[in-house]
């Protein structure tokens, strides 16, 4: 199975970059499934039902989120109706929405997508190690599902790596989001699980992790809040990762970063 995962879409620049670059990348790579983290898509904070529908119309199959999932209040009644829009699975019981979905391809193959959030330097939620392990153990790669992909929305690379090693061989891939910086550590672990610490941001890289640079700099230099944080509005880039798995085992055979657009150095896997 060919999986295309796109990192955090940041504001209008991110949405425009996704709309512009996703069609050409889909044409070149021919992914079977497209997963996008959209938790910053609405003005840098949260996502709306309208944006979800736009993403689907552009060819997105599953949307993951993170700590900003509830920033746009209108998403709360919507998320229960949309099983392809995920929130972190380790939110407390009773939280609206789902943390896992099973997406069936046109040819009958199934990919299980799990969204979880870290706890180190983040909000204190339920244990992601226990929650994700319990979800994974309900599936059997190569039998009930052909691939299992985890978007781990976390701050610390140590926590991301630890969860990936904890699940190595039991899932197809774990890719981190949240830091908005694409990392250079895409690789396949000994058990066959693909890993990358952070898929990077889809947005304006002439910024400070997607925020207008002058606003961010002011907070460091003056040590007090100035203007409200807002997304940078320049030409954006789309960043993510391309993973190819074995349908019989669910294990990964190939992983490469995907970077296309303004400012950042481009990398498009060759087919």
The residues assigned a catalytic role are 68
Q: Are strands 237-245 and 2-6 parallel, antiparallel or unpaired?
A: antiparallel
Q: How far is CA 165 from CA 25, 102, 159, 173, in A?
A: 30, 23, 10, 11
Q: What is the DSSP letter of 122?
A: S
Q: How far apart are CA 117 and CA 125, in angstroms?
A: 8
Q: How far apart are CA 207 and CA 157, in angstroms?
A: 22
Q: How far apart are CA 164 and CA 156, in angstroms?
A: 13
Q: Are strands 33-37 and 62-64 parallel, antiparallel or unpaired?
A: parallel
């Amino acid at each position: 199975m060919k999986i295309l995962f796109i990192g955090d879409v940041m504001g209008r620049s991110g949405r425009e970059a996704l709309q512009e670059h996703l069609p050409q990348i889909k044409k070149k790579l021919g992914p079977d499934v497209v997963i996008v983290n959209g938790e910053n898509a609405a003005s840098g904070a949260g996502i709306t039902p309208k944006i979800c529908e736009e993403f689907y119309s552009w060819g997105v199959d599953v949307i993951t989120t993170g700590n900003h999932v509830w920033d746009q209040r209108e998403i709360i009644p919507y998320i229960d109706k949309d099983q392809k829009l995920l929130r972190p699975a380790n939110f407390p019981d009773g939280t609206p929405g789902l943390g896992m979905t099973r997406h069936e391809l046109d040819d009958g193959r199934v990919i299980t997508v799990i969204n979880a959030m870290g706890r180190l330097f983040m909000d204190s939620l339920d244990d992601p190690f226990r929650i994700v392990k319990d979800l994974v153990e309900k599936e059997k790669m190569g039998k009930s599902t052909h691939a299992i992909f985890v978007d781990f929305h976390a701050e610390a690379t140590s926590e991301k790596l630890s969860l990936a090693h904890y699940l190595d061989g039991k899932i197809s891939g774990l890719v981190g989001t949240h830091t908005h910086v694409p990392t250079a550590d895409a690789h396949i672990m000994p058990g066959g699980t693909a890993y990358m610490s952070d898929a990077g941001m889809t947005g304006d890289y002439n910024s400070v992790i997607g925020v207008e640079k002058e606003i961010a700099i002011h907070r460091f230099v003056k040590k007090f809040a100035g203007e409200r944080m807002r997304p940078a509005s320049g030409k954006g880039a789309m960043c993510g990762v391309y993973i190819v798995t074995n349908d019989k085992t669910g294990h990964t055979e190939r992983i490469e970063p995907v970077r296309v657009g303004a400012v950042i150095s481009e990398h498009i896997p060759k087919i």
